Amino acid sequence: MATDKTVNGYLIRADADGTWWIIGIGDEKVAGPFTDERQAVEVAAVLQDLPTHPSRKKKPRA
């Protein structure tokens, strides 16, 4: 069994069926499935997170 690898802040992991996935925060599958580890590593190397939506500013209560 292959060991997990970290690339660009993402975890590269193989599933039991032999497919490879890019895993983000909270064990969320970000991209995949890939047929081999090399493909997953290449994609993870260029992934960029989008900034989160800014929270709405609340009006102060009087």
Q: Which residues are CB-neighbours of 58 under 8 A, at least 6 positions away?
A: none
Domain count, the chain: 1
The answer as to whether 35 is a domain residue is yes
pTM of the shown model: 0.73
- Please indicate, yes or no, if residue 52 is contained in any of the structural domains: no
| Residue 12 domain-assigned (yes or no) | yes
Query: Is 53 within a domain?
Result: no
Domain range holding 15? Answer: 5-46
What's residue 23's pLDDT?
A: 94
Within a domain: residue 55?
A: no
**Contact yes or no for 57/49 (Cβ under 8 A):** no
- Which pLDDT value is given to residue 52? 67
pLDDT at 37: 95
pLDDT in tens for each of the 62 residues of the chain? Answer: 467 899 999 999 999 999 999 999 888 999 999 999 999 999 999 988 776 667 777 777 76
56 lies in a domain? no
Q: Is 26 part of any domain?
A: yes
